[in-house]
């Protein structure tokens, strides 16, 4: 059996990692979940946020400036991608997947040309080691987790309770009807892309001091974001937050009991089982968040 402080650390680390995971996936929930656009550049927009942060810090600018500039860069790139390419295809799934896959490669190669192939890192602006119930934890990572969960909850409120959320859903569910009611669906999609890009760009800058910055880092972020979004129920921001936290906790707790790789396999297997079970209609009354 493991010592009690290990359980405390697993719970704590699981919640922090889960919050960050959910935050990274949030933009994909908006674009893929609500707007039904399969945007494979999501992970690269995350990488762009981190890359922007590294470039700014390298240029002797304060880390805080990255939290403002990175969302603008990633959001701006997302808007350009939508305006110049995806909008012209009417966001048709097959062509969107092909186009965003091509863009994913382009963004990776641009990053490779800018930062080189070696991994990069950014110094945290503050990083006290916090002593908690028998274990120590990175103060900055804890703050990043808190910021992640706070912004995620705020976005949940905005998307679920505001006119913007209604417009996004209406534009996706019946574009023709929305347009006949006077809604400029292209503009709504543009706002959706900008918001999603800005969020994931912010996440890239926020996590830079405790994640390695590398031109391929977007691939892992993309894969994990899809898992979180699908697990949480496509289109449900609350579901994405819950799924991120659940996955983070599950990974941490299983790692206490099993070998690391088995823990990972079990986590993904349980997530898949859950998705299948939900598709089959269990439990009674359906799933609500």
Partner 1 sequence: MNRRQALSSLLKTGVVAAGAAGLGAAAGYFSARAVGGQTTSGLETGVRPIKIGFQVHRTGIGAPYGYWYERVANAAVNYINKTGGIAGRLIELIAEDDETSPAKGAQVVERLVLAHNVDFILGALFSDVVLASGPRAGELKRPYFAVSEGTHVPFGKLNRWCFQPGITDVPGQVTAVAKWIFENLGKRVAMIYPDYAFGHDHRDALTKAAERYGGRIIEKIPIPPGETSFTKYFTRIPRDIDVLYHVMVGDVLTFIRELGVYLGRERPELFGFIDSIEAVPLSSPGLEYLEGTYFWEGFPRYADGYDTLYSRFYREAVGVDENGADKSDPSRVSAFSHMFGVWETLFVIKEAVEQSGYSGQTQRDYEAFIKTLESMDWFNEGLWHPQGDKLFNGRLHQSFGHQFISVVRNGRLVVVHRTEIEDSLYEHPNDYTRQSLF
Is 34 or 122 the residue whose CB approaches partner 1 more closely? 122
Is 9 or 237 the residue whose CB approaches partner 1 more closely? 9
How near is the Cβ of 166 to partner 1 at its closest, in Å? Answer: 28
Q: In the structure encoding, which two tokens stand for residue 124, read together?
A: 């945290």
Is 25 or 237 the residue whose CB approaches partner 1 more closely? 25
Burial track 75-102 (b if 16+ CB lie within 10 A, e otherwise): bebbbebbeeebeeeebeeeebeebbee
The DSSP element (H or E) to which 244 belongs, if any, is helix 237-257
How near is the Cβ of 211 to partner 1 at its closest, in Å? Answer: 6
Is 14 or 75 the residue whose CB approaches partner 1 more closely? 14
How near is the Cβ of 112 to partner 1 at its closest, in Å? Answer: 5
Helix, strand or coil for residue 260? helix
How near is the Cβ of 173 to partner 1 at its closest, in Å? Answer: 20
Is 211 or 236 the residue whose CB approaches partner 1 more closely? 211
Is 36 or 87 the residue whose CB approaches partner 1 more closely? 87
The DSSP element (H or E) to which 152 belongs, if any, is helix 139-161
How near is the Cβ of 74 to partner 1 at its closest, in Å? Answer: 19
Comparing CA positions, the residue from 253, 215, 272 lying closest to residue 17 is: 253
Burial zone of 191 (CB within 10 Å; 0-12 exposed, 13-18 middle, 19+ buried): middle
Question: Which residues contact partner 1 (rule: CB under 8 A)?
Answer: 2, 6, 9-10, 13-14, 17, 85, 88-90, 92, 95, 98-99, 101-106, 108-110, 112-113, 116-124, 129, 135-138, 209-212, 214-216, 220, 251-252, 255-256, 259-261, 264
How near is the Cβ of 45 to partner 1 at its closest, in Å? Answer: 16
Comparing CA positions, the residue from 71, 118, 133 lying closest to residue 214 is: 118
Contact at 8 Å (CB) between 48 and 109?
A: no
Q: What is the DSSP letter of 34?
A: I
Task: Report how far residue 206's alpha carbon sits from residue 22's, in angstroms, rounded to the nearest whole number.
Answer: 13
How near is the Cβ of 213 to partner 1 at its closest, in Å? Answer: 8
Is 195 or 221 the residue whose CB approaches partner 1 more closely? 221
From residue 263, alpha-carbon distances to 32, 137, 229, 247, 267 in Å are 28, 22, 21, 11, 6
């Amino acid at each position: 059996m493991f010592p009690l402080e290990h359980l405390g650390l697993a719970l704590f680390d699981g919640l922090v990692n889960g919050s960050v995971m959910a935050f990274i996936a949030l933009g994909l929930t908006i674009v893929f979940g609500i707007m039904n656009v399969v945007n494979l550049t999501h992970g690269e927009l995350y990488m762009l946020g981190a890359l922007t942060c590294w470039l700014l810090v390298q240029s002797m600018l304060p880390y805080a400036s990255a939290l403002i500039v990175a969302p603008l860069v990633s959001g701006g790139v997302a808007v350009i991608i939508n305006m110049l390419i995806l909008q012209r295809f009417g966001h048709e799934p097959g062509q969107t997947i092909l186009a965003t896959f091509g863009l994913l490669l382009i963004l990776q190669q641009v990053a490779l040309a800018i930062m080189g192939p070696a991994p990069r890192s950014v110094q945290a602006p503050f990083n006290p080691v916090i002593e908690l119930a028998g274990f120590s934890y990175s103060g900055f990572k804890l703050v990043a987790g808190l910021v992640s969960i706070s912004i995620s909850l705020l976005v949940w409120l905005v998307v679920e309770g505001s006119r913007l959320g209604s417009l996004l859903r209406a534009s996706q569910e019946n574009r023709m009807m929305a347009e006949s009611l006077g809604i400029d669906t292209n503009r709504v999609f543009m706002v959706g892309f900008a918001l999603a890009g800005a969020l994931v760009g912010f996440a890239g800058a926020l996590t830079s001091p405790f994640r390695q910055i590398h031109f391929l880092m977007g691939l892992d972020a993309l894969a994990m974001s899809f898992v979180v979004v699908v697990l949480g129920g496509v289109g449900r921001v609350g579901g994405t937050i819950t799924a991120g936290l659940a996955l983070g906790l599950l990974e941490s707790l299983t790692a206490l009991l099993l070998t690391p790789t088995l823990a990972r396999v079990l986590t993904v297997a349980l997530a898949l089982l859950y998705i299948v079970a939900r598709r089959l209609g269990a439990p009674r009354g359906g799933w609500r968040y």
